[in-house]
Structure 1
Amino acid sequence: MGVGLTGVIAVVVVVLLLLLFLRSVHRIGPTQVGLVTKRYGFRRLPDDNPIAFRGEAGYQAELLMPGARFKLWPVYSVIKFPWVQVPAGEIGVVIAQVGRPLPIGAKSAHYRPEFGNYGDLRAFLDHGGEKGVQRPVLPPGTLAPIHPVAFLVITTREVFGLPVAPELAFAEHKHQLTPESFGLRHEQLNVVVIAPNENRDMIGLVTVLEGEPLPSGDIASRLGGFDDIAGMEDETSDAGIIDVLLGSKNSLHNNYQDFQRFMDSGGRIGLQHDPLLYGAYLLNPFLVRVEMVPMLVVNQGQVAVIKGFVGLPTLDTSGEDFKFGSIVRPGHRGIWQEPLRTGKYAINPRIYAAEIVPTSILTLNWASASSQAHNLDARLESIVGKSREGFVFTIDLQVQIHISDTRAPKVISSVGTILNLVNEVLQSAVGNHFRNTLQDLEAIRFIETRQEVQESAFTAITRYLTGYEVETRGVYIQDVVFPPELVDVLTHREIANQQRATYEEQQRAETVRIQMEKARGTANMQADLAAAQVSVEINRNRAEAREAEAGGEAAYVRLTGQAQADKVQALGLAEAKAAEALGLAKAAGFTAQREAIGELSTALVAVAGAIAEGQIKIVPEVLVTGGSTLDGLAGTLMKALNNGSLTLPGSGEPAEEE
């Protein structure tokens, strides 16, 4: 009986020992760790540390590695946890639940190289590891045995570890622990990739969520500030300064991936001056946020005028004559005097506003259709104006302007944007000029002097835009929509002009036909014309010969006649002198005789004398008479007196009939 009881006790003991052994032996898988918990102990854990390092009851610091491991049950219990695995294309964010408290105001724990990938808990604590979010992240492909109580590792698919915070522990119990439990989105745990987006070049704007505050007045942080720019101004050109400003200091902290080095280099909280370029980056979403924006692209025929909102204090370089704001050297706050030319620039648009200015000839249309090369004239419409008589005209206009690359900063300083230049400056200036011009002209006058109106507009707009540093290259009236009543007048006038032109063409055609007929007749008579021309030539030669002969004979006659004339003239002159003397003597005698005996008696005496001298025939050649001889004589005398062939002596006039 006693032997049987002893055997039973032995069996029970063996079974208990076997059960104790089996419960104390733990098989840890190849990608697992065993978290040991001590149920009993004489020491108490510190209030701020959930892990025992000196045999205290609670979670033990030492993990059971893969294999068969012995931990005496029921003093110890073992919970298996998987190794931390970070999938490709993702990161793991580490949160420490052990270590020193964070400094006041800190959002993340200081990192030291001795921490490695947080696989050595004792090294982490011995080198001053701090609780909270750790600055480095676990890279893709990480597979590490990390203490599940000391550290929580957040990935997109799983949260590794055992939370000790009550609220997290409750969520873990309900199997609801996700990245959202920590205020993160799943996409924030992916590797940040910056690449072209639909053929658009992109950059990443970085905002840091931890660090010293920005200096007063600054809106972005640049490592080292702008002291290096200030030291370059005396010996470096504007282009050289721009290269330094746009150059990145991201190499100092491995593009924000080594956040501890960023902090050690003087990095500050807030928007960062230097963006990220193409690449894949492991960034802690608790500390760094990235926003994708297009890269600044300046095409051929353009420049980019930069308005700097950060940098050195404003120092105007425009001179006293420029009254439209401040023009500064690159690196100062204000509009840079040196624009960016053709190229692609990784420039932060939150702190450097770029205004694209076309430097090629810019064509603007005041019409219903806008330009295909740009959209600057989308708000421009056809110009509507009234003539002096009240006719309403609609004018489609085209204006070409040019902005020099060196003057572009002053243009932007004057008007703000190119769109403002078009809509606020040009639209009013051009519209008012044409409306005023139309108002001073009659409708017909405007149509007839369209070219002059166009040239006048070019001069006026050129003078106006010169004040804005803009060059006018052309003003062209494209089309004019006339009032219907004026169109009727012009149509009738044009019809009349066309009819007149038709008649003129017909007249010219008839003139040409006449000339053709004349040429044809000339051609047909060419042989006769040649013979006639020869005959004319022969006759001309004969006439010249005869003319020469006649000239010789005439010269002979002229000389001979001249000599004879001279002789006759001499004789005649002598006779005339004699006759004059005789006549004067007779006149004196007749005068004395008339005074003595009277005019009738003197006349009878003269008749008798004339008869005596034989000047009057008193006996006709044939005498037929029926009267006396006295009647015949008297009739003959009276006839002589009546015919004026007998003059009274001393009077020289015919005798009057009594």
Structure 2
Amino acid sequence: MSILLLIILFALSAVFAPRFIPAKLGWLQTGTRVALSLAALFMALATSFVIIDQDKVGHLKLIYGASKLPPGHIIAMNGEAGPQAEILGPGFNFKPLLNILYDVEQLPVTEIPEGYYGFIVARDGLPLRSDQFLANAWSDEQRMLDAGYFLTEGKGQKGPQLTVLKPGRYRLNQYLFETYVKGDALRATSVPAGFVAVIKSNVQEKPADICQPIREGQTAKLSIPLVPKECRGVWNEPLLPGTYYLNRRAYEVALVDTRIQTWQYQGGYVRRRINLTLNQNGQIEQTAEREEVVTPQNAADNAVLLRVEGWEIPQDLRILAQVTPEDAPFVVASVGDLQAVEDKIITPTVRSIVRNVTGSTAPVATDQEGGNLQSVRRVLDLQDKRPQLEQAVLDALIPEARNAGVSIREVRFGDPVIPPELLLARKREQLAQQMITTFRKEQQAQEERIKTEKARATAEQQPELVRAEIQV
């Protein structure tokens, strides 16, 4: 203020002071006028520039404005006093009476670190519509960061912005834009290899006539329908592996593993064994064993408990399943995630199908009239006809899993835990057959040994036999 008064004083002095000098001293009048004018000009020029550092942005607050800001506005656009939309870049900046009319504040350049995005809140602009909680998206973020354009032609909206800033350095008006750059909530979305990201959008960027729910095939049964990209809802196209700068207030991200999954059903039962041994008298002796088989931590669930011929038989099995990238949105919309698919759909379905297949009748051959004969499923079929049972379970499981968006690649049975009483007769028979075979081989060996001994004795008596023949 004092500098401005001095400039005005020197300017007035340059006009009026020479009048008090006698006319005969014309050279003095001229010299005084020039000196005072140069002094006023020098002081005005000295207050009309500022040098902004390379890593700073110059912000202006007009002190002496033509009018006050309208109610509800933060940034001046038409010469009002207060924060201005204009900013000053690095280096030398000239503006008449800059340091007198304005308060110049140098603020650091906004820097977004790698792996994060900048979330922006605008302090001024048009109000959000009643159905909005984030401002409209901008196709060109540089135009958005121009405060003058944002508040005029761009029709920018006040409040949190949908458009975010990618890593880099930005010279923006910090009186208008407040930028948040730190925190786990502002991390970039990273989709690793072997995964896809399914997006649930809380905002709609496309017109309503384009954002119609997709009801084709399986998606027609969804209570939460799929929608095209940039529409409100679950997008029908997932994001492939990569890094994305998504506004997490607008988009919820669900990572879906698209690699082949191994779901094991094992443990949770007691395994009994009856061991057969031979004593010194050649008699068969039996000893019983019990072993508790626990369910591994990484298993999907316990072994499937079957009931065949009245016997309860635990059956271990392994399933190879996969959610393809194309099916990932359907899985998220229908169930939620892969763990929910396993727990709520696949596991109950597997148990039901395996029990139905192993407990049903089995076609064995054709009768004389060309019809299929049926036989009741036997306990020993679980080990004797394992490939056929695995294929039957696979054929029944594939369409059921497809209803949940899961592709079943393989079904493999483990060793069935058959009650040892059912295997005892077969084991004793096998052991008896082995004993018979062993006895026969031992008998053959004894006979061969006798023949060998006779031949050896005959050979030893050969000289005596020759001598006896000569004497005769």
For normalisation by structure 1, the TM-score amounts to 0.44
* Amino acid in the other structure paired with 1:323: K
1:449 and 2:382 matched: yes
Work out whether residues 350 and 397 of structure 2, in 8 Å CA contact, stay in contact via their aligned partners in 1: yes
Which residue does 2:326 correspond to in 1? Answer: 406
Cα distance in 1 between the residues matched to 2:323 and 2:68:
61
| Structure 1 counterpart SS, 2:155 | coil
Does 1:316 find its partner at 2:213? Answer: yes
- CA distance 1:386–1:409, change in 2 (3 Å): closer
Percent identity at matched positions?
24
Go from structure 1 to structure 2 and tell me whether the alpha carbon gap of 1:138 and 1:493 turns closer, same or farther (over 3 Å shift). Answer: farther
Match of 1:430 in 2: 350
Describe the shift of the 1:387–1:108 C-alpha distance in structure 2 as closer, same or farther (beyond 3 A). Answer: same
1:108 Cα deviation after fit? 1.4
1:130 aligns with 2:96: no
Q: Matches of 1:423 and 1:337 in 2, distance apart?
A: 24
AA matched with 1:353: E
Change (3 A) 1:257 1:454: same
User: Does residue 129 of structure 2 align to residue 215 of structure 1?
Assistant: yes
The structure whose residues are more often strand, as a share, is: 2
* Alpha-carbon separation, structure 1, partners of 2:440 and 2:62: 108
What per-residue deviation string (whole Å, max 9, x for no partner) do you get for residues 261-286 of structure 1? Answer: 22332222233333222311123344
Indicate which of 296, 303, 306 corresponds to 1:368. 296
Cα shift at 1:307: 3.0
Query: 1:217-274 deviations in whole A, cap 9, x for unaligned?
Result: 23333357xxxxxxxxxxxxxxxxxxxxxxx4224x1xx4322222332222233333
**1:385–1:439 contact (8 Å) kept in structure 2:** no
Provide closer, same or farther for how the CA distance between residues 217 and 474 of structure 1 changes in structure 2, counting only shifts above 3 A.
Answer: same
**2:187 counterpart (275, 281, 294):** 294
Distance 2:436 2:103 in 1: 104
Distance 1:390 1:134 in 2: 87
Shift of 1:212: 0.9
Residue of 399, 411, 414 corresponding to 1:475: 411
1:205 partner letter: F
Rounded Cα–Cα distance in structure 2 between residues aligned with 1:515 and 1:150: 128
Decide whether aligned partners of structure 1 residues 449 and 320 sit closer, same or farther in structure 2, where only a CA change above 3 A counts: closer
Distance 2:3 2:311 in 1: 97
Q: List gaps (5 residues or longer) in structure 1.
A: 1-32, 42-52, 56-68, 72-79, 111-127, 156-188, 225-247, 371-376, 521-658
1:258 pairs with 2:186 = no
CA distance in 2, matches of 1:477, 1:214: 60
What do residues 413-462 of structure 1 show as CA deviations (whole Å, max 9, x unaligned)? Answer: 22233333233322443356567889999xx9667615366555434432
- Partner-residue secondary structure (3-state), 2:408: strand
Any conservation in 2 of the 1:434–1:457 contact (CA below 8 Å)? yes
| CA 1:85–1:464: 2 relative to 1, 3 Å | same
Q: Is the CA contact 1:136–1:257 (under 8 Å) kept in the aligned structure 2? A: no
Counterpart of 1:130, as a letter, is E
| Higher-Rg member (1/2) | 1
Partner deviation per Cα, 1:300-334 (whole Å, 9 max, x = no partner): 54443333331332412324871203233334333
Tell me what 2:28 maps to. none
Call closer, same or farther: CA 1:389–1:403 in 2, change over 3 Å.
Answer: same
SS of the residue corresponding to residue 202 of structure 1 reads: coil
1:271 aligns with 2:185: no
Distance 2:415 2:103 in 1: 75
* 5+ residue gaps, structure 2: 14-37, 41-45, 266-294, 362-376, 453-472
Which whole-Å CA distance do the structure 1 matches of 2:197 and 2:172 have between them?
A: 32
Query: What is the identity, as a one-letter code, of the residue corresponding to 1:316?
Result: P
Amino acid paired to 1:332: C
- Asked if 1:304 corresponds to 2:237, the answer is no
SS of 2:69's partner is coil
How far off is 1:496 after superposition? 4.5
Is the 1:205–1:291 contact (alpha carbons within 8 Å) kept by the matching residues of 2?
yes
1:385 touches 1:438 (CA, 8 Å); kept in 2?
A: no
| Further displaced range: 429-438 or 345-354 | 429-438
- Does residue 96 of structure 2 align to residue 104 of structure 1? no
The residue type equivalent to 2:214 in the other structure is T
Q: Per-residue CA shift, 1:192-232, capped at 9, x if unaligned?
A: 22332xxxx433333323211233423333357xxxxxxxx
2:464 maps to: none
CA RMSD of aligned residues (A): 5.0
Q: Distance in 2 between matches of 1:412 and 1:425?
A: 13
8 Å CA contact retained: 2:357, 2:392: no
1:390 and 1:341 mapped to 2: Cα distance? 51
Say how many residue pairs are matched: 361
Q: Secondary structure at the match of 1:203?
A: coil
In structure 2, do the counterparts of structure 1 residues 386 and 405 end up closer, same or farther at CA, with 3 Å as the change threshold?
closer
Note if contact 1:382-1:395 (Cα within 8 Å) is conserved in structure 2: no
* Matched residue SS, 1:280: strand
Q: 2:140 aligns with which of 237, 249, 257?
A: 249
Q: What residue is the counterpart of 1:74 in the other structure?
A: none
Seen in structure 2, the aligned counterparts of structure 1 residues 390 and 137 have a Cα distance that, compared at 3 Å, is farther
CA distance in 2, matches of 1:223, 1:54: 54
State the alpha-carbon separation in 1 of the partners of residues 337 and 89 from structure 2.
46
Helix, strand or coil at the partner of 2:409: strand
Query: What SS is found at the alignment partner of 2:117?
Result: strand
What is the CA–CA distance in structure 1 between the aligned matches of 2:318 and 2:12, rounded to whole Å?
A: 89
Q: Aligned partners of 1:509, 1:207: CA distance in 2, in Å?
A: 94
CA offset at residue 342 of structure 1? 4.3
